[in-house]
Amino acid sequence: MKRAIPVLVLSVAGLIPVWRYAPSHDTGSSTAPAQAAAPASTPSASSSGGTTTTVVSGSLVDTEKGPVRVEVTFDGDEIASVRMLQQPDHPQTAAAVPKLIEETLRAQSADIDTVSGATVTSDGYKESLQAALDAKG
């Protein structure tokens, strides 16, 4: 009887990760994910009162969790806003996106920190963001 309780507790503790496991939505590929499936878009610009607003879409990046693509709006040479055009349908991604956008606006570059718990999405975000920055020139 003395061993039954620890065995039961350890068995339940070992099953908790199995119950909480959420498989990723794999595209059927068993190799590394394809990077930069679609190139960044050509910048579209509009001018109002001497300030040029440019909108550029980053490349589509296929990650293990799903596709990631950003759209960056520039006000002159400054990043005015970032919008996710495509993102994985994953709880960690939903929590990470506002942090990634905030960090991008603060840093004004793609040199930002990865969000803990959403490493795959963060890496895809940074790659798509860098492609948009490169397309802008």
> Above 60 in pLDDT, residue 82?
yes
Whole-structure pTM value = 0.66
Helices (H), the chain: 4-20, 91-107, 119-136
Q: For the segment 28-78, what is each residue's pLDDT rounded down to a tens digit?
A: 443 444 444 455 555 555 555 556 888 999 999 998 889 999 999 998 889
Q: How far apart are CA 102 and CA 16, in angstroms?
A: 34
CA triple 32-38-43, angle to 5 deg: 140
Rounded to whole angstroms, the Cα distance separating 68 from 21 reads 22
